[in-house]
Amino acid sequence: MKSIFAYCFTVLLLIAVLVGYLSVFSVGENDIVVVFQPGEAPTRVYDKPGYYFKIPLVQRLAFFHKGFFKRHIKTEIRTKDGHLLKLNSVLQYKISDPVEYIKFRDNAYLLIDESVSKTQRFIFEKHSLSDIAPRLLSPETKDQEFINQLVQYKIEKELAVDLQAIGLKVITIKVKAGTT
């Protein structure tokens, strides 16, 4: 009798430990955690470090980094007069709305690349190479800074809106251009 009781107690104790282990999760200092149930909208977002609880085997976790991300994007654009302009951009961004971002995370890179390319086309396709070339090909950094400021201004107006729709915030973008 005692051996059956001990066996049952051991099994129950192991089940309790397993359920407890599957119910607790930790959020690190640089993490954002979204709790969701498959097929439903996210239920909670945790961005403060600590230990939290979830329903085991029902709720899922998505971990994201709080910091900045970099994305290198290469774009080829035809200028107004038909010349090919090659742009190398470095976009720095962060996740501003993890609940919105979780919907698009599988296609995020594609959406970022398309948004940057669309914005750059909007800026550079309106100009001929003769308008842009003196600034692009000049060894002076002032001209490169001018292009970065022009692109940055347009990005603040257009790209930021596109990326905000998928839960991202533009921090900076740097653009280097060349011609062929």
Q: What pLDDT, on the 0 to 100 scale, is given for residue 32? A: 93
Q: What pLDDT, on the 0 to 100 scale, is given for residue 23? A: 86
Please tell me whether residues 61 and 75 are part of one structural domain: no
Q: What is the mean pLDDT of residues 75-98?
A: 87
Q: Six-digit token pair at 90?
A: 């470095």
Range of the domain at 91: 69-179
Q: Six-digit token pair at 13?
A: 């104790």
Q: Are 36 and 59 in contact (CB under 8 A)?
A: yes
Q: Which of 36, 65, 94 is the last residue of a domain?
A: 65
CA torsion through residues 163, 166, 171, 173, sign:
negative
Give per-residue pLDDT as tens, 102-159.
888 888 899 999 988 888 888 778 777 777 666 555 555 555 666 667 666 776 677 8
Please tell me whether residues 92 and 170 are part of one structural domain: yes
Give per-residue pLDDT as tens, 11-52.
898 988 888 888 889 999 999 999 988 778 788 899 999 999
> How many separate domains does the chain show?
2
Please tell me whether residues 82 and 143 are part of one structural domain: yes
Q: Which of 13, 41, 65 is the last residue of a domain?
A: 65
pTM of the model: 0.74
